[in-house]
Amino acid sequence: MAQHSLPILVVEDDPSLREAIGDTLELAGRPYIAVDGGEEALRVLGEQAFSIVVSDVRMMPMDGITLLKEIRSRLPHLPVVLMTAYAEVEKAVDAMRSGACDFLLKPFEPQALLAHINKYELPDTGESPGVVATDPASREMFTMAQRVAQTDATVLLTGESGVGKEVVARFIHRNSARRDGPFVAINCAAIPDTLLEATLFGYEKGAFTGAQQAQAGKFEQAEGGTLLLDEVTEMPMGLQAKLLRVLQEREVERVGGKKPVPLNIRIVATSNRDMAEAVAKGVFREDLYYRLNVFPVAIPALRQRREDIVAIARHFVVDHGGRLGRSGVSLSPAAEVTLAAHNWPGNVRELENVIQRALILSTGSSIGPEHLNLVPKVFAEAPLAAAHPIAAEPGKLLEVEKRADNMKDLERDHILRTLAEVGGSRKQAIERLGISERTLRYKLQQYRDEGYFKD
């Protein structure tokens, strides 16, 4: 398990007890912040992330129960341990029903306090490769991921294309008891239907033309570890039935085989589609949906966790800068402002693409706004004229409309050129463009209707 570096929030209005708790944490080498009441606690919770809250119950004017309810409404997965006197045990039990993790009976030994903290606290994600979680929304999501990682429950990760579902899946694997086992990923949308069954389940020698020797499938390759079924909603209906049986029986039968192979694996599935809608449309089995949806984790879009934008961008500058021989390059303050203002319809994948291009375009030690190529906002949801209306100034309005038309031309040329470069592969195109498959379909239909190309 990773070492914890997030601070602990102590809420106690008794100065002597607050100091004693602080001494205990300091001797244990644990960072902490101590405040004297609920209102101050809510203020600091809005400013930074904490691993856990340890709060007294009896405080004025806001008591610990009220504080707990406020924390649950704002940060529903942040662990809270309450401290209470023996006479208030019944009240503390009610508080646990409201979402407290546990309670400590006063007086308590220092080791009891540390044991509760170690048991319930939220880990710092900073030591997990590829994980950047600054925004409260992403920290909450990683809290859920950390908790389910301690079990063997099947996890369903949902979110828009490009939000980083595989990063979360790998985080779950690394924080689980299976961390020393293999992590095997398969993109169900990237493999032709005719090959997907053999790839997933394996095959015996002679099972089909070209099967010159037996081959273990992805399920067997993941034995003792985690199997990621990426974009599982793209799996053909025929294979969905076989997948359901594998999940139910925890054994797999190779193509052309007769002997089932027992499995000991953790399943993580992902989808960028509304799975309930896919079930309603009859393109995804309802029984399989419920089998996969044991523990759902929704990953917020990048625009919904804006505090992550600059932090992730800095991470990509360092990561890709090293690979491109551009170590030491950094983002200028103006570039960070530009990044933070963008809507990022392509999510983290789009941001990564932008940073890679900027590292190539910049020649000095600093990346400026001019290197980001975000001025046209190629895939922004609102046109420039709508975003910056200029009422009662016809000349300026005409100029803005011309600029908007020009940006639409740039967008169309960029999409069609990218498609041509990848030989018409929509899968490769959406990865390069940093947009969702749905967005690409919409754009292509629009260009078709406007007569720019035909199928």
**Tell me, what amino acid is at 184?**
V
Per-residue pLDDT at 89? 61
Domain range list for the chain: 8-122, 136-298, 303-375, 381-455
Please list the ranges in the chain whose pLDDT falls under 50. 1-3, 375-404
- The set of residues, in sequence order, having a beta carbon less than 8 Å from that of 257 and lying 6+ positions away, is 202, 203, 204, 207
| Equal fold, 8-122 vs 136-298 | yes
Reported as a single tens digit per residue, the pLDDT across 275-286 is 999 999 999 999
Per-residue pLDDT at 184? 96
**8 A C-beta contact, residue 95 and residue 56:** no
**Tell me, what amino acid is at 117?**
I
Strands 295-298 and 155-158: parallel
Q: Among 2.60.40.60, 3.10.20.30, 3.30.750.24, 3.40.50.300, what is the CATH number of 136-298?
A: 3.40.50.300
Q: What is the model's pTM? A: 0.62
Reported as a single tens digit per residue, the pLDDT across 181-233 is 999 999 998 888 878 988 999 888 877 777 778 888 899 999 999 999 999 99
Cα-Cα-Cα-Cα dihedral sign, residues 338, 340, 343, 345: positive
Closest to 339 (Cα-Cα) out of 363, 364, 315, 365 = 315
Decide: helix, strand or coil at residue 310.
Answer: helix
Q: Which residues pair with 267 in a beta bridge?
A: 227
Decide: helix, strand or coil at residue 258.
Answer: coil
Distances (CA, A) of 297 to 99, 128, 290, 307: 19, 18, 14, 20
Per-residue pLDDT at 91? 66
Per-residue pLDDT at 357? 93
Strands 183-187 and 226-230: parallel
Per-residue pLDDT at 147? 83
Per-residue pLDDT at 376? 41
Closest to 278 (Cα-Cα) out of 293, 267, 268 = 293
Per-residue pLDDT at 168? 95
Residue 101 and residue 58: Cα distance in Å, rounded? 17
- The set of residues, in sequence order, having a beta carbon less than 8 Å from that of 376 and lying 6+ positions away, is 407, 410, 411
Angle, helices 333-341/307-323, rounded to nearest 10 degrees: 120
Per CATH, the number for 8-122 is: 3.40.50.2300
Give me the CATH topology for the region 303-375: Helicase, Ruva Protein; domain 3 (1.10.8)
Residue 442 and residue 204: Cα distance in Å, rounded? 42
